[in-house]
Structure 1
Amino acid sequence: MTRLAVFDCDGTLVDSQSTICLAMQRAFDVVGVAAPGDAATRGIIGLSLPEAMSVLYPGGTPEEHDAIGEAYKAAFFDMRTQGLANHPLYEGIAEAVADLEARGWLLGVATGKSDRGLKAILDHHGLHPRFVTLQTADRHPSKPHPSMLDQAMADAGSSPATTAMIGDTSYDMAMAKAAGCAAIGVSWGYHNADQLIEAGADVVADHPSALVAILEALP
């Protein structure tokens, strides 16, 4: 039996909200549109850029959404190359990932980030070799569409019955349910426990140290 645990990135593996919020402010400034508040930006973390921009700037045209999205990517890249990007691992995540791997779980990531952005984070923290499947917005529709999980399961040779999605947003939970997988919410990210449960979370972990026991107890 192949067991697969798929992690979201921002808000689940790493706390990148300060960098994301600053890059978003810079992107809106570039195109001359009033920037959303940080709370609004945190609310869309996990969505792919086109969907995120349509939420943050609902009155904008598709062309304006594209322009803000490109400005966001440029701002984020500039911050990374200047050493200003801040995305620390949450305390206990590295240990939970290592423990799950040692117990025979295959590991994956499903994120609204780009391939380049995800690789930079995983390489920075030395986690890249632990994951057998990496799914990003470069190749898939935005969450909560199940495409990322469908491909992750195909890569790993797992099934919905033996796959769990671990994430901090309602988009992650809804994606898990759409794919028929277990939905494990985490309380240390950007959506609260009530939002996760409403979106279909089977359980919400309060700390990374709880993840192994939760996953090992799945049917």
Structure 2
Amino acid sequence: MDDKPGLRERKKQRTHAAISDAAIALFLEHGFNQVSVAQVAEAAEVSKRTVFAYFPAKEDLVVHRLADHETEIARVVRGRPPHTAPLTALREHFVQGLRERDPITGLNDHPQVRRVHRMILDAPSLVARMERFKTGSERALAQALRETADTSELTARLAAVQIVAVHWTLAQDNAERLAHGESAEARHPGAVADADHAFALLENGLRDLGRAR
């Protein structure tokens, strides 16, 4: 049996990983804006053209590691158990991510995870790229809600914007606390409480906003 297609695919995966690892190591050591694509290519022992063949933009060298998360919450909505409300499934998924210290929840204090987070915040082009990532997540979630929750297009879009914003705000709050020295273990109870509060606001449609002072 001819295994050449399989060998080619494995070679591509190894090249992809080598470029990514070299880039992240350089970015963390010198800063994202201080490293050129040519330097990444040299460190990975490939041509600059090869780097762009795998990563169309310099920012993709970082953001590709989050690519699976762009449509994650849409997949949760699509794969939720029968008779389970989308918000219920999403809350349970987020809380599970907190428990498992999923970096996308912000509750991961591994040194490299924290350094990558700081690197993204310090590079305007990466921040802008993450905004595109966020927009893609909203679009995917809106489509999932339209197709599985029998919602109108406008309702799905408005809901998706709010849900994605809640996820990002919770994650940013967790990451900021950890950046200031709080451990993931110590932060976990508060992170769960904040998630419960945030999803309760979503479920209640903000109807109680402003009643208590």
Scaled by the length of structure 1, the TM-score of the pair is 0.30
TM-score (norm 2): 0.31
Which structure has more relative contact order (CA 8 Å, sep 6+)? It is 1
Bigger Cα Rg: 2
